[in-house]
Structure 1
Amino acid sequence: MDTAYCTADGTPYYIANFAQLSESEIASKRRQLICVECRWPAYFKRAATSGQGACFGARPHAPTCSLGAPPSKKGPGSNEVQDILRNPMNHIRIDINYGAHDKVNGDPSDVDKANTRGGRFTGDGPRGPSPMNRRLRPLLKALIESEQFRNSNIIVELPRYTSLPANQLFVNFDAVDEGLANEFRGYWGLIFDTGMSADGSFWLNTGKYDDLSILITPEKYDDFKRKFNFQLDRELEGMHLLVLGKLRKAWSGKLIIDVDDVDRCALCDD
């Protein structure tokens, strides 16, 4: 959207004018933006090196807001999302190998009886359905686009780590609290802004207040940047992030999600 309202100074900003503010003004006002129509929280996304212009967005708008997605684009979402929702096995296995092979569905002989609803192929009848293998980015898109998926009981498994219904495994940044400390979950949501500490730690900040951030340590920063192929740190602002990991509470009271493995992260610039 081209216009957003800033509650800090009571001013509606056109995107071109907001993008020309000083860095300090943008930093202080970007977390105070709301949609000019529905008044739900909005965000600012800078121009990208790819040529995409700066813009405002809201995720989501109020259901009746005319600035949200038109009715023809609402519903179950993209083809990728519909494919996930049509999963006959009701079981998704996360593949973090990111294209190491072209296989979409796993071998039915590799299905664990204890963790799935389908039978294994024994040679005495037709093959039973196997879990659907999906990478993290399509799952992040499903979380963004589909309330049905977010609220579903579809079992989502990360081998050797966890197996939970989607509505328990995935936790939006806005719903994170200290009660989830030390819990392994799929934490996801919008990156509002980024920052680099003096020691080289890279921080992805998730909302209006600095009470929850994602930490990429200096040792992992180069791998993270190489994996997601961005040139400027600020290019991530306004993107959605999914990270599989544990939440911890720092001595200061701040909640932090450490990126222990860059392959357990996904970004979506929707």
Structure 2
Amino acid sequence: MLDAICLFDESNPVTYSVFKFQKLSDGDIEKYRQALVCPACAGKAYYRKASKDGKAACFGSRYHQADCREFKPSLAKEREEQHAIEVNQLLVDSDAMIIDFSRQPSLNRASVNRRNQAQLAKNEHTQKPDLNSTSKPENKPAEEPVLNTGIEQAATEALELDGAQTADTEKRIAKEGLEKLLHSLMRGSELAESDLWVYTDEKYRWRAKNLFVNFADAEPTEAGSPRMYWGTISHVDKELLWLNPADSKDVGIPIDKIAEPLKLRFGLEDRRDFEGAAIILFGKCFWNKAKNRKIIQLWSNDINRIFISKPEDSE
């Protein structure tokens, strides 16, 4: 996209070309970037600054309407749409779903190169908790969910108590990773409105409609009860302390303790790679001390419980 409309002042919308927008002061860019929409379909848009390796600044959107003239089909979009189809079919075919937090992100991202993989392996031996471990770290709250190999049996037993047929339950319990779930939500699957039982561990289950929450609808929960929060990232601060969702201006996601592991795991080489990315995480929402900003904290800073999908440069 070469143009975007800024709705910072909704009574006076301003259309910016990407060339004009990148010449604004850093302060104005940070102020306006969360108020951008596509000029053709009004889908929420993002701004990506020019990269160090020569990629030009650009506007993009993860929310284009299918018939939008700015929408450019790609292999990545086709894959995301296929994920939405598969998840919608899962809702029809399954009695319950287990979220597999241990499933690794796809390795087809070119930016996740051998150097990053080697560094990640090194970090696994020097950082606590272990990034690839789903074991319970020290000092976790007592009610913290723990994913383990008994989850399928627990889900089966719970469904039997609900009156499901024993012969069918094993076949009707789906298991999916965060990547497919995020892509399906971004492409309009019915997951977030479904009554499907979703297990986040062997003990805790939720109706999908109560578990999956877009950042725009995030509210502090009673007793810090966790949810699966999802949406897109507008930008990250210079110190890599906070992710700022594009879907809500009063929500922040602290990443100061996991910034480097996040970059390595998802191929986020600089701040630009966060801009416009889709994200899903299991965490709790609460007010800051001033009660003017909602904070969504990744559960125990467990990097297995977050997934980030980078935008395409051509969007």
Give the direction of change, closer, same or farther, for the CA distance of 1:130–1:208 in structure 2 (3 Å limit).
closer
Count how many residue pairs are aligned between Structure 1 and Structure 2.
255
Aligned equivalent of 1:173? 215
Question: Contact conserved, 1:213 with 1:256, CA < 8 A, in 2?
Answer: yes
Question: Contact conserved, 1:46 with 1:235, CA < 8 A, in 2?
Answer: no
Shift of 1:27: 1.4
Aligned equivalent of 2:94? 89
Aligned equivalent of 1:103? none
Indicate which of 240, 243, 251 corresponds to 1:204: 243
Aligned equivalent of 2:267? 229
TM-score scaled to structure 2, two decimals? 0.67
Matched, 1:133 2:175: yes
The RMSD of aligned alpha carbons is 3.6
Question: Contact conserved, 1:108 with 1:130, CA < 8 A, in 2?
Answer: no
Aligned partner of residue 112 in structure 1, secondary structure: helix
Shift of 1:177: 2.4
Aligned equivalent of 2:15? 12
Question: Contact conserved, 2:231 with 2:246, CA < 8 A, in 1?
Answer: no
Aligned equivalent of 2:112? none
Question: Contact conserved, 2:241 with 2:255, CA < 8 A, in 1?
Answer: yes
Indicate which of 33, 36, 41 corresponds to 2:39: 36
Higher share in helix? 2
Aligned equivalent of 1:269? 310
Indicate which of 109, 112, 136 corresponds to 2:156: 112
Shift of 1:257: 1.1
TM-score scaled to structure 1, two decimals? 0.77
Question: Contact conserved, 1:76 with 1:146, CA < 8 A, in 2?
Answer: no
Alignment partners' CA distance in 2, 1:154 and 1:75: 25
Amino acid in structure 2 at the alignment position of 1:19 = Q
Amino acid in structure 2 at the alignment position of 1:240 = A
Aligned equivalent of 2:256? 217
Question: Contact conserved, 1:240 with 1:269, CA < 8 A, in 2?
Answer: yes
Q: Comparing both chains, which one has the higher relative contact order based on Cα–Cα distances under 8 Å and sequence gaps of 6 or more?
A: 2
Shift of 1:62: 6.3
Question: Contact conserved, 1:92 with 1:134, CA < 8 A, in 2?
Answer: yes
Question: Contact conserved, 1:31 with 1:43, CA < 8 A, in 2?
Answer: yes
Unaligned residue ranges in structure 1 (runs of 5+): 101-105
Aligned partner of residue 192 in structure 1, secondary structure: strand
Give the direction of change, closer, same or farther, for the CA distance of 1:109–1:39 in structure 2 (3 Å limit).
closer
Shift of 1:83: 2.0
Unaligned residue ranges in structure 2 (runs of 5+): 105-131, 133-149
Question: Contact conserved, 1:108 with 1:129, CA < 8 A, in 2?
Answer: no
Aligned partner of residue 37 in structure 1, secondary structure: coil
Alignment partners' CA distance in 2, 1:76 and 1:194: 26
Question: Contact conserved, 1:76 with 1:82, CA < 8 A, in 2?
Answer: no
Question: Contact conserved, 2:41 with 2:65, CA < 8 A, in 1?
Answer: yes
Aligned equivalent of 1:193? 235
Question: Contact conserved, 1:192 with 1:237, CA < 8 A, in 2?
Answer: yes
Higher share in strand? 1
Which deviates the most, 112-121 or 182-191?
Answer: 112-121
Which deviates the most, 21-30 or 245-254?
Answer: 21-30
Alignment partners' CA distance in 1, 2:165 and 2:151: 12
